[in-house]
Structure 1
């Protein structure tokens, strides 16, 4: 098996079982943002910036950052960019497990439902972790793409749970 195929298979094992991606009901929930300051217009085609102790919550999705920038198109959120050392993110998956992530910058494209982690990112789930400098995660399909920028990517895949040890007689 060549290295690229082996690496691809390893990344697939990291993801939860098929059909268990980011909680699908989160997208239909209100988006709540708290911060020290806000500057912008909250309707139409605009960009609003929140700075200082930014906290976003939408369903099970939680993001903490120092700065958030939300772009709207036709009155609907279309793109969000979070920055800080480090941005922290947590979201429940449809199977009930959790994904935790952190990065220097997180870009969330609502139209394509992709999250891009940039700069010293780590993404952890029950199955393992993935870390590096850049990763794109599709919240609808569960697909991830990382590396390709000359930096190394580290993937840790946890073994399946072992059966409990049998007691000695």
Structure 2
């Protein structure tokens, strides 16, 4: 494993460990999984295969977890546990967000495809994936990769390579920005702004 990637993985593990016990909102996993669309497209349910396909500005929610996509496939491989695959729009990525068990803190992500595994409580972001931490409405910590796996239960993140990046980001490079929790809101905003302008 290249030293740069190794250091990036170590840095992101520190990012996710900031604030002991800071995990995805624990009560979310007890809530129902709700799939909705704008109604302009279609929904098909295959009872025999336990497969539901919904198209047209779809949202998947479970407590504070929210995934938005153009099309979603939902399966029930085990009773009461669901898997979902969310596909992006032609010109816009699918998105994910969830509150963490920390006051006013959210994890946000976007990718070409998002896979949710209810049994293992993992979110896999595939294709031009970005992951961000937001505190008090300000983006503080941020990272990108071609495939990012977020383990909600363990509150860990794993990177698998680096694919084509967005404008302003050098391919093959993971840039992480950390903002101290004690920083005031203006200082946090300044740090996030500086990170966005750096290349």
TM-score (norm 2): 0.72
TM-score (norm 1): 0.84
Q: Which runs of 5+ in 2 are unaligned?
A: 135-139, 164-170, 188-199
Q: Which runs of 5+ in 1 are unaligned?
A: none
Aligned residue runs from structure 1 range 29-44, under 5 A: 29-35=31-37, 36=39, 37-41=42-46
Aligned residue runs from structure 1 range 86-125, under 5 A: 86-96=93-103, 97-125=105-133
Aligned residue runs from structure 1 range 1-169, under 5 A: 3=4, 6-15=7-16, 16-35=18-37, 36=39, 37-41=42-46, 46-84=50-88, 85-96=92-103, 97-126=105-134, 127-148=140-161, 152-160=172-180, 161-162=182-183
For the aligned residue pairs, the C-alpha RMSD in angstroms reads: 2.5
Structure with greater proportional strand content: 1
Cα distance in 2, alignment partners of residues 162 and 111 from structure 1: 37
Cα distance in 1, alignment partners of residues 80 and 99 from structure 2: 23
| DSSP 3-state at the match of 1:10 | helix
Shift of 1:74: 4.3
Shift of 1:17: 2.2
| DSSP 3-state at the match of 1:40 | strand
The alpha-carbon distance between structure 1 residues 5 and 66, as it changes in their structure 2 partners (threshold 3 A), is closer
Cα distance in 1, alignment partners of residues 98 and 55 from structure 2: 22
Shift of 1:147: 2.6
* Larger CA deviation: 149-158 vs 116-125: 149-158
Shift of 1:88: 1.1
Cα distance in 2, alignment partners of residues 111 and 74 from structure 1: 8
Contact 2:144–2:162 (CA under 8 A) maintained in structure 1? no
* Larger CA deviation: 128-137 vs 142-151: 142-151
